[in-house]
Chains A and B, each alone.
Chain A
């Protein structure tokens, strides 16, 4: 897994709970080194240990923690802007999720994000299938979708379905989770500002 992902977990911890807590979590997870280099690869197990240690330290459920992590990602202006390129409204953004993985790879070829597949159901809902090698991406995506709904000024109900009980854990295939999105009001509030070509380097 690219260090970028581990680093964003650390940044989330530092931004919301302080550097001291992040250091405690790292110790609890017994991680080598001081931090992660965003563009180097690390063992997947490290990310899982980091997440578990953070949940233990904060006494929070994993799904909650991961949703907040997703929302926090979108609060970072650089990430928010890249996501806003997806579409000029929330519906467009939702549809762009199908190519999020390819878009990410366009920027960083080593970055492996889950495969996303969005379908519109007959009842006017959207269902996002999140398939990845590791569990938990569904919750991260739910956090991202909530934060981006706010960003676009849309009112949406977002839920993660728990993983199918009784699913074969030895199944070598990717883990699929489902996020359902009910778009109640696309123009509920004013969208946050997004100018296409903010000059590079400006923050």
Chain B
């Protein structure tokens, strides 16, 4: 192997003074146009380096010029393996003591850059990766305009690629480190501006999402009792019917109509009425299971969606508890509020084909039947009104 830099020194020494002047001029021109250029000789020794690339390498010119390419660069992507010489190149290569990494010689670099983009990482800082391309390759000594480009020389141009922002920060670069024609400044500006816009959009999305949730809550809940409202029940019921129709889960509906509520409103005032509704709502919520849904359908009418396919006995027991709570003494400003309730229930498994309207109609009729039976009791219903059954043994009418 030749001594690194020998070629350079010999060449520079051999050049007559006018050419040196031309070389200096040419290098100034080159670094202005391509501040990240790297000029290599056929041995892959560095003959010249652009000012910005020098800043990246972080060492003075004197330590760069004459040094082999591979002292500073590995041909590899960030975090990737170092590229090795292809077989066809090795078979015709006479080098001894070479680890066959691309970049050890000009030949391997030349072969690679002729085929593809060059990805390198810095030996000293492997987290820094650059992208490079071959600008010119002189097979024969070039005369005239470029007096120093000798046979086998390569001119490479590097860029920061998508890591621009990160590397500009890392090396503390300024706009003077880029060529005037480079769009790097616009890229940096745009990235910064876009990130601000994105932040605003994220904030807007957050605000809209909160507003949506608030509106949804408002649309689906009863302001007085905080229970679900008719609309929320309709949605839940539609889903429950869908599930049951698909054989996933049966459910039951329990309707509660307060008895004597109108009297409280008329004689004790609306505040007393509101108090009773809120108390009933709280009691209902405490009586049902976690997955069940309690809704105030309007006025003094409540509907409970009981999930988990409860048996008639279970529904009867729940109804008995509810009636007991309804009839328990309630006091509003020193006056007792006397209420009770008529309850109707239907189970989805009693139906061949489920329809929301039919279910609601039947549970309504069952509740009416309970009212007709003397209030304070439960009636089951499904299908035609004749099928409305007595609550049999589970009927809370006979409960103490």
Contact = CB atoms under 8 A, between A and B. Distances in A.
Interface of A: 4, 37-39, 78, 81-82, 85, 88, 103, 106-108, 195-201
Contacts, number: 60
Interface SS majority for chain B: helix
Contact of B195 (A103, A106, A200): A200
Interface string B155-193: 000000000111011001111100000000110111111
B19 to A, nearest CB: 35
B201 A196 contact: no
A107 B197 CA distance: 7
Given A85-B188, A103-B189, A197 B166 contact: yes
12 contacts: A37-B204, A38-B200, A78-B196, A82-B193, A108-B197, A196-B168, A196-B175, A197-B165, A197-B166, A199-B165, A200-B165, A200-B195
Contact of B193 (A4, A38, A107, A201): A107
Question: At the interface, is chain A mostly helix, strand, loop or mixed?
Answer: loop
B169 A195 contact: yes
9 smallest CB-CB distances across A and B, nearest first, come from A107-B193, A197-B168, A197-B169, A85-B189, A200-B195, A197-B165, A38-B200, A196-B168, A78-B196
B194 interface: yes
A45 B200 CA distance: 24
B174 A88 contact: yes
A201 B190 contact: no
A151 to B, nearest CB: 16
A4 B200 CA distance: 10
Contact of B196 (A85, A88, A107, A195): A107
Nearest to B173: A196
A179 B145 CA distance: 49
Nearest to B190: A106
A161 B237 CA distance: 70
A94 to B, nearest CB: 16
Nearest to B178: A196
Nearest to B175: A88
A197 B200 CA distance: 20
A34 B58 CA distance: 54
Contacts of A108: 193, 197
B300 to A, nearest CB: 37
A34 B44 CA distance: 67
Contacts of A78: 196
Contacts of B193: 82, 106-108
